[in-house]
Amino acid sequence: MTLSRQLYILILSVSVMMGAGTWLISVDNTRTYLMLQMATQTQNTADSLGLSLVPHMKARDIAVMDTMINAVFDSGYYKSLSLKSMQGEVLIERENTSSIEDVPEWFINGLKLDSPQASSIITTGWTQSGTLNLEAHPGFAYKKLWDTSYAMLWWSLLVIIISFLVSFMALKAILKPLYAVEKQALAICDREFPVVTDIPKTRELKKMVEAMNMMTAKVQSFISMLTERAEKYREQAHYDEMTHLMNRNGFKAVVENCIKDQEHAGSGFVALIRLADFAAYNKKHGHQDGDNLIIEVARLIDSLCDSYHGSTAARIGGIDFAVLLPLADPDTTSAFGHELSCSLEGLSSNHQVEAIGHIGLASFHQNSSFGDILADADTALASAQSQGNNEYNILSSNNDAMGNQAWAALIKNALSHNNVRFIAQPVMDQNSNSIYSELLMRVIDDAGKEIRPGPFAAMAERLALNEKLDQFVIQRATTLLEHATDQNSILGVNISAASVKSSTFSTWLEKHLQTHNKAAARLLFEITEHGVLQSFGEANHFVDIAQANGARIVMEHFGTRLSSFQSLRQLKLDYIKLDGSFVRNIADNSDNRFFLQTVTDIAHGLDIQVIAEHVENVDDFHALQALGINAMQGYYFGEPQPIS
């Protein structure tokens, strides 16, 4: 029960008790007064009537005495009257048998009024001639007492109501700062840090509001400090200070993670870009212009990478740059090489030099090593140098890649004929209990061969078929949940970046979740960090729609972008899934352990659970447990299993 409600009940209770006490005291005082008044009036009437009857008593004029007595008794104030001689002879007797009208019986029974009696001795001279006995009738007193009690009751109720309303308004004004503080506390839990500007005049409340404002500022400052520290450390450890691209160590971790990602990657191309005659350019234009050229080339490469799904740019040496193109086929790689070559040619014209650099591209697969990939790319780069200025060359061993038309036919056929097989990989908590299962799709081609989800999803995005694919998977996941024997099972579904920023997809998703509201509460949507940062406003809208309908949100591949920590504070995420490049071999990497500890502390401070993906061995499992990671996923817990 809220404090305000408790205070209202207390005020109302006190008001009712005071009103009831005042009413009871007033009724009792009125009752006492009426009884005293009846007794006094009865005695006075007996005395005055007795004196009036003296001369007629002496003459024994019964008729006159009867008339005089009737005049008094017929007023209704008396219950009985008797006139007796001294010998006990009843001369005149009257009895009022009328009932008490307009007064409830329960009131009469609850408030007894005694009927006072009075007597008067009638004397004629020195002789006592008779006795007059008179008993009051309480009818008029009861009527007066009822009317007075009734009026006082209504006045008491009116006073109680007015007092309560005045108290309500006063308390509402007094407690207004408490409501503001309550909203402030809830906002902090919701990863917002508002400050209450309406400071109350009441000293205690003023101190409380000021203390809450100080706490809010300190919490915000602490989280900002952790965020800045984590970003600074990551930038120092994994990024080049001059270009802000990933450095060699960071690039190596990303490439190796891509190679070993058995579900979503495992193959692709790496581009090696080396500046041409940079020593001569540096000597001619100076070191500052040389540095500016490196920065300009870095921006050009990084900008070009935005158009290629999952690509990562890096500066791996003084004049060497590299780009990872996961799941890229030869056509995509050739398009990238041509586009980058043209951009370098344009930069050459701007700087009036013959060549800016050359590009060598080499493919890799799940058995490749980082050193071998760079060696192949360097071989391709040597060929490009012999071809001419700003040229590119591709060294590929991938001879079984399909073209765009074949991929489009395969995807459309899979969706229309349901040529898919679903498997699930669990996400486990620290006690190895399943939190949810990530739904993975295997596409079956015409030859009956299964295709891993990574290449399939990448081609769907390239061919603008992501929305249809995502809708298909969500519909199947919903059906699986609605027909599951375990009504507590939860499924995670991967959503492409294109679908996240699509308004038509968001509209469809909202209608779908509203139609299947029970299953919606058992769905998690995994969205990539890169997709969120590409279109933050649309991603925020997508998160709001999902959570409003009971679904939860996971940001996967967290940590691969420098600005991702700020998004934690703005998006209402339920989980973050750390990128595998930080997780692999974490037991032997103290730098990454420090970084993940900081990330975990920040996330927990924002009430976000942390998941580590690509957990492959027991040493990494125990290291992640020690860091306070909430959940883990990977082949250490077993391979993905078919889902029925």
So where are the chain's domains?
3-161, 190-238, 248-395, 404-642
One-letter identity of residue 341: S
Model confidence, pTM: 0.63
Given a contact cutoff of 8 angstroms between Cβ atoms, the answer to whether 54 and 124 are in contact is: yes
H/E/C letters for each residue in 537-570?
HHHHHHHHHHHHCCCEEEEEEECCCCCHHHHHHH
Classify domain 3-161 at the CATH topology level.
Beta-Lactamase (3.30.450)
Could you tell me where the DSSP H helices lie in 326-439? Answer: 330-351, 370-387, 404-417
Q: What percent of the chain has pLDDT over 70?
A: 95
**pLDDT averaged over every residue in the chain:** 85
Chain segment 233-262, per-residue pLDDT in tens? 777 778 888 998 989 988 998 898 888 876
Per the DSSP assignment, residues forming a β-bridge with 504 are none
CATH of domain 248-395: 3.30.70.270
Residue 1 pLDDT > 70:
no
User: 607-623: b or e for each residue (b if 16 or more CB lie within 10 Å)?
Assistant: ebbbbbbbbbeeebbeb
Integer angstrom CA distances of residue 577 from 72, 85, 241, 555: 102, 114, 26, 6
Q: What percent of the chain has pLDDT over 90?
A: 25
Residue 343, pLDDT score: 92
Please say whether the dihedral angle defined by the alpha carbons of residues 528, 530, 535 and 537, taken in this order, is positive or negative: positive
Given a contact cutoff of 8 angstroms between Cβ atoms, the answer to whether 315 and 321 are in contact is: yes
Residue 133, pLDDT score: 92
What is the arithmetic mean of pLDDT over 79-104? 86
Residue corresponding to tokens 């769907």: 460
Residue 631 pLDDT > 90:
yes
Chain segment 174-196, per-residue pLDDT in tens? 777 777 777 877 777 666 777 88
Chain segment 541-565, per-residue pLDDT in tens? 999 999 999 999 999 888 776 555 6
Give the Cα separation of 13 and 328 in Å (integer): 76
pLDDT band at 474 (very low <50, low <70, confident <90, very high): very high
One-letter identity of residue 459: M
H/E/C letters for each residue in 216-228?
HHHHHHHHHHHHH
546 or 210: whose pLDDT is higher?
546
Residue 404, pLDDT score: 67
Please say whether the dihedral angle defined by the alpha carbons of residues 347, 349, 355 and 361, taken in this order, is positive or negative: positive
Give the Cα separation of 141 and 521 in Å (integer): 71
As given in the structure block, the two tokens for residue 595 are 């970084």
Residue 447, pLDDT score: 74
Please say whether the dihedral angle defined by the alpha carbons of residues 452, 453, 456 and 458, taken in this order, is positive or negative: negative
Per the DSSP assignment, residues forming a β-bridge with 211 are none
Integer angstrom CA distances of residue 364 from 183, 441, 555, 607: 54, 23, 27, 39
HSE on the CB side for 528, CA within 13 Å? 17
> 404-642: which CATH number, 3.40.1180.10, 1.20.1250.20, 3.40.1390.30, 3.20.20.450?
3.20.20.450
Give the Cα separation of 556 and 145 in Å (integer): 81
Chain segment 478-515, per-residue pLDDT in tens? 999 998 888 888 999 999 888 998 999 999 999 999 99
Nearest to 373 by CA among 361, 356, 387, 388: 361
Give the Cα separation of 461 and 264 in Å (integer): 14
Given a contact cutoff of 8 angstroms between Cβ atoms, the answer to whether 321 and 273 are in contact is: yes
What is the arithmetic mean of pLDDT over 465-482? 91
Residue 319 pLDDT > 70:
yes
- DSSP result, 566-593: HHHHHS--SEEEE-HHHHTTGGG-HHHH
Lowest mean pLDDT among 305-309, 332-336, 537-541: 305-309
Give the Cα separation of 162 and 185 in Å (integer): 34
Residue 377 pLDDT > 60:
yes
